[in-house]
Structures are given as C-alpha cells and as structure tokens.
Chains A and B, each alone.
Chain A
C-alpha cells in the first residue's frame, strides 16, 4: 500500500488511489456494502422522520399555539401530562384496545395463513376475499360500517333479527363501541397480516415438510415443532408491528366514532391529534407524543427480549 501523502504524476496517482480504495473496500467489504445499502434509507428516515421527531421533542419544552412565538415552559408540559385525567383515560382506553386487538388479529391472521396455505379448493378465491378489506379506504369505511352497524336499520342487526337476536347498539353505546372497533379493525387487517405470514411460510422449504412427513409427524406436531419455530422472525415482526399500530390506532376512531360515544373510544393518538389541530396546543401535543414514543420504545425492547429471535442469529 502506498504511503499517504506520496506524490506521483496524475494517472499513476489515480490508479494507486483506486487500488487503495479497492483494497480497503475488500478488507471491510461487509461494512462498506452495509453502508452503501443502508445509506439512502437511513438518510431518508433521518430527514423525514428523525428530524421531525427531534423537532417535536424540542417543541415539547415550550408552550406554543403555532401562530404566536414559542414560550419556554421547561418540563411543565410533562408535569401537566402526568396530572391530566384525559391523558390517563385515553391511555387506558388505548390499552384496552391493544389487549383485545393484538391477540385477535395475530391469531386470526396466522390461522388464516395456515389454512389458506394448504392445497384447498378455492384457495385463490379465499385469499383474495380475505385481503379485500385491506383495499377499502378509510373514507369509505365510515359510510360502510355506519350503514351496516346502524342500530335500528342497519344490515347487521337486520340479519341478526332474522335469527332471533335483538338489535345491538354497536358503535352507539359506551359498552360496545370499543370492542366493535376492535372487531372492525381485525376485519380490515386480518388479510394484511395473513399475507405476511403466507410469505413467511414460503420460506420453509418443501424438503423440511417432506422430512417431517416421512418421520410420521401429524399436522399439529408439524406446526408446533417445524412451522412455528421457523416462522419466529416473521412472527416477531407481526407481533411488534401489530402492537405498535394498535397503540397508535387513530384512523378507525377518526372516521367511525370521533372518540365517542361519550369518549369511550377516545384513544391516545386521537387526543394528540385534537391537541395539535383543534386546540392548537402544539407544545403539549408534542409532549404527549414523546411520552407515547417512550412507551412504545420500552414495549418493543421488552418484546425483543422476550422473543429473543429478532436478534441477528
């Protein structure tokens, strides 16, 4: 390798520089390629997500309505948050949503993936059918479900009436609104995570199943000892993603209940949204967002520890 700073004529110098770069590259090939592969995305995330997050963190120490100058507030926003009954109740409601939603969605999508993965008659049809709801946009969700779940004249109660079940209030009652939202959300995203599980299932080579069958393993045994372990990385992903997204549930609340009836579906992100866009309390909204961020960080790290499969093997 050339000593640094050695001067030589143009083309020779360039050739040497190129060779040095190439040697360096070869020695640290892994790291260099990693850098190359990660650079665009990391840069993008830093600019379009990282920077706004830091901005939110910064603003959380101020009182600001977005239109007047910022006023330094120190940790006031956080102190106020801890004493805010609306914050805690929205957290509680969100927690209930998460506890209901995560197992339901995870279990249903996994079950569907396993079922649809077999050589079933009409498999293509079922797969497309279950994926259908994912394609329905939010704007339409409200019309659709508002119509279907209408307590007096909606399709669902009408159908239930045909089999002798009385009309249910669904989204119009404090008791049923949140579970109904959970069900609607599961309905919408079941196919989504089913498809992810399906893709993950494709990773398990045919040969493994052959071997299992030759060994005489039954369906359940195959699932438990072969499929599930090999699905661990994808399962970890699905679990973490569902958990994060459940904590951040907003869209369904926004189009279907607006936090009602009587604030029974008033989730955390809806509160943040109202704080930022309706009450124009940007500092406080940012503080709440940072708190949510930290909560999710803790939960994800815990999930990672628990699962211990997300690690680079």
Chain B
C-alpha cells in the first residue's frame, strides 16, 4: 500500500514539475532582432563557428545570430521540415544536393544585388558560376574539396610502383598491390549523393555528361556512360581489386587498401590520427583519349527568402566568410582542410597550400559538384548500383536511367 502511494505521489510530483518546467530552454528575445543560422555541425568544428557568431553578436548590437548546428546525416531532413512548416532558418549552408531544390521553390534569396564587387572578383570564377542560376547568384561560396586518388606512399616506394595515370594502369597497379589483407583500390559503393559525387569525374573524363547544359536533354545514354559505369563495375566484379563494401573506415592508412578515391578533407584527419602514415595524392587516372578532370564539393551560405529580417541575414551571410580573410583562413585550412574559394584567402594561407600542393593542382581541372535535382541523382544512382551489384550490362543501365532522366526533364519547368 505504501509502495503504491509513493509511486503515485511521485507521478504527481513529476507532473507538477512538468507544468512548472514546461516552457523549456528557448533563448529570450528582447528588443533584439534574432536570426537562426543552421549548418552541418560536428562538435569540434562547431566551436570555431560559435566563436565567430559570438564575435558578430558582440560587434553588432541589436542583432542576435543563433547558431544551431545539425547532425550531418539528418541535415537535409531538418531543412526540408523547417521550410515546409515555416520554421526554417534565416541563414543556412547548402551543398549541391539541396541547392536546386531551394532555388526552384523560392526558398533561396537571390543575392545578386547584395553581392559586393570586391568579393565577386576575389572568388574563383567556377565557384561563382556553380551558384548562379538564370543570371542570379543564390549563395556565397566558401570552400572547395577536390577529389583525387590517395595512396600509401610508403607502400608504393617499397613495391617500386608509381601512381597510375590511366585506367589500365590503375587496374594493373591495383592488381599488383592486392593481397588477401589489402584491397587494390576503394571506390564508393553505398548508394546516394556521395557515390554519385565520386563517380561523375570518371564519366567526364571519358567526355560524357549526364544532361545537356540547358537541362533539356539527357545525355546519359551514351558509350561514355557505359564505359564509366562498367569501369567501376569491373574493378569490383571482374578484376576484383575493389571491395563490394566501402564501409571500410580509413582503409588506406589502416593498411586495408592501397589506393582510394577521396577528397582533400582527409589530409588533416590523417595527419592527426595516423601520424606515421605518408599520404600520397595523385590525379584521377584517365581513360585512353580522355581529359584529366575531377570534381570538387563544398558548402555555401544561403539566405532564406522568407526571412523576416532579410537585410540582417544578408549582412551576416557575407560577413561570415566573405569579408575578413583572417576569419576564413583557420576554417578552410586547419579545420576543414579544403581549398578556399577566395583567391585572397589562398594567398594569405600560402604556406598551408604549398604543403598541399598536390591537392591544389587538382583544382585546375576540378568541376563543381553538379546541382541536379533529386530525380536525376536518383536515376544515376540506380544505374551505378545496377551495374555494381546486379551485374546489369552498362548499356542497359544507362539506357534505363536516361529514359527516366529525359522523362523528368520533359516535365521540369521551374518557376524562378
């Protein structure tokens, strides 16, 4: 009896507590203008951005930027829900995957008339055109993550091997270095944006393309596509030099693979976590008659067109990484290990970029990650997955995907 009463008493107390504590933790908004700023967050990187945000808030009385980092894997979901329910952020980071969605639906504020001339001149032209649609600029670029072929320098030295320059050499070198404990090369196998991102350069090298520049025709059904698809498929299924699961963590430094196609961001991480490892970087191998081409990714800062404080939001969007170079440098160099989109920042960080000269060289031939709408991305994913895992011949996979893409493009009529 006493036990029972105690239980219900406790329930009552908790309920009372619930009522009292109800409101919960929301920051008080005085006479200030409050803006929310969302980005993909990881606790160690959040610290630096928070520092910048605090700096901004201190130097701009009357405005309060609320920095809310979101876990990487769920960023897209949170953005979608936020905008649909009107609870979206005022300023936020986007990558190529979400870019078109937000531009087409009117979420992205055109920034052209706010864009400072100096910044325009300072930015690498390709980064600016990557965020320009129909003559309007929709976000502020900040970084470039070029993709290359990393390899174990020490291993290559020991085996007297040089980094491969062509597709055939890649197969050869991978075969030579493959052992039961070590794969030759790792290509991305999990379906999604990331896999597509790493696959596009192989298509481009062969001279191919997914859709026409005017986004009206699908160019996917072509021999170049078939070549690129089957090359990856063969690496895994025919030559068996690449694993069917790329869920390996840090395979090259761990000695589980000799080479991997990955981006510049690993440089900083590997230096910290695997100090004994010598990271080698080479351009992606090219097919016969092909051109050296690679891809780069990265985030840019967008403003919500439905923000209640457009001017303040725009101001912060440019202030963050578009003004003082000293603010940008630690971010792109030490923290993110990427290439700054602004030439002046690259000049300031000369020393860092000299140390990463191999990566820098890739920038010259790097194209931005395409900003295809999800339907196009999905079709490409289906093609890649079918060839890798179902043994579908490249020609059929390419044709099926191309039909889907063309059907989508026929109906695609964004009102911007």
23 sampled A-B residue pairs with Cβ under 8 A: A66-B83, A66-B84, A146-B247, A150-B248, A151-B243, A152-B245, A152-B248, A153-B248, A172-B389, A174-B389, A174-B390, A258-B190, A258-B191, A259-B191, A260-B389, A261-B191, A261-B385, A262-B191, A262-B385, A277-B76, A279-B374, A279-B378, A280-B101
Count of chain B residues near A, Cβ 8 A:
30
Q: Compute how far the CA of A279 lies from the CA of B373 in the bound complex, rounded to whole angstroms.
A: 9
Residue-by-residue, is B92-103 near A (CB-CB < 8 Å gives 1, otherwise 0)?
000000000100
A280 adjacent to B80 (CB under 8 Å) = yes
* Residue numbers in B under 8 Å from A174 (CB-CB): 389-390
- Pick the contact of A150: B84, B190, B192, B247 (CB < 8 A): B247
Count of chain A residues near B, Cβ 8 A:
27
- Distance (whole angstroms) from the CB of B106 to the closest CB of chain A: 7
- Pick the contact of A169: B76, B190, B245 (CB < 8 A): B245
- Distance (whole angstroms) from the CB of B352 to the closest CB of chain A: 32
B360-407 contacts to A (CB < 8 Å):
374-375, 378, 382, 385-386, 388-390
- Distance (whole angstroms) from the CB of B228 to the closest CB of chain A: 17
Q: Compute how far the CA of A260 lies from the CA of B387 in the bound complex, rounded to whole angstroms.
A: 13
* Residue numbers in B under 8 Å from A172 (CB-CB): 189, 243-245, 389
Which partner residue on chain A sits nearest B81 by CB separation?
A: A277
B105 adjacent to A67 (CB under 8 Å) = yes
Q: Does A68 touch B at the CB level, under 8 Å?
A: yes
Q: Compute how far the CA of A277 lies from the CA of B84 in the bound complex, rounded to whole angstroms.
A: 10
- Pick the contact of A262: B183, B248, B388 (CB < 8 A): B388
Q: Does A87 touch B at the CB level, under 8 Å?
A: no
Residue-by-residue, is A138-158 near B (CB-CB < 8 Å gives 1, otherwise 0)?
000000001000111100000
* Residue numbers in A under 8 Å from B106 (CB-CB): 67-68
* Residue numbers in A under 8 Å from B256 (CB-CB): 152-153
Q: Compute how far the CA of A67 lies from the CA of B414 in the bound complex, rounded to whole angstroms.
A: 13
Q: Does A117 touch B at the CB level, under 8 Å?
A: no
A153-194 contacts to B (CB < 8 Å):
153, 169, 171-174
The 5 tightest CB contacts between A and B, nearest first, are A66-B84, A262-B389, A172-B245, A67-B105, A262-B385
A67 adjacent to B84 (CB under 8 Å) = yes
Residue-by-residue, is B75-97 near A (CB-CB < 8 Å gives 1, otherwise 0)?
01100110110000000000000
* Residue numbers in B under 8 Å from A276 (CB-CB): 80
Extra contacts, 9 of them, besides A169-B244, A258-B190 (Cβ < 8 A), are A151-B243, A152-B183, A172-B189, A172-B243, A173-B389, A261-B191, A261-B385, A262-B390, A277-B81
Q: Does B107 touch A at the CB level, under 8 Å?
A: yes
A263 adjacent to B385 (CB under 8 Å) = yes
Which partner residue on chain B sits nearest A145 by CB separation?
A: B247
* Residue numbers in A under 8 Å from B105 (CB-CB): 65, 67-68, 280
Q: Does A79 touch B at the CB level, under 8 Å?
A: no
Q: Compute how far the CA of A280 lies from the CA of B378 in the bound complex, rounded to whole angstroms.
A: 14
B154-194 contacts to A (CB < 8 Å):
183, 189-192
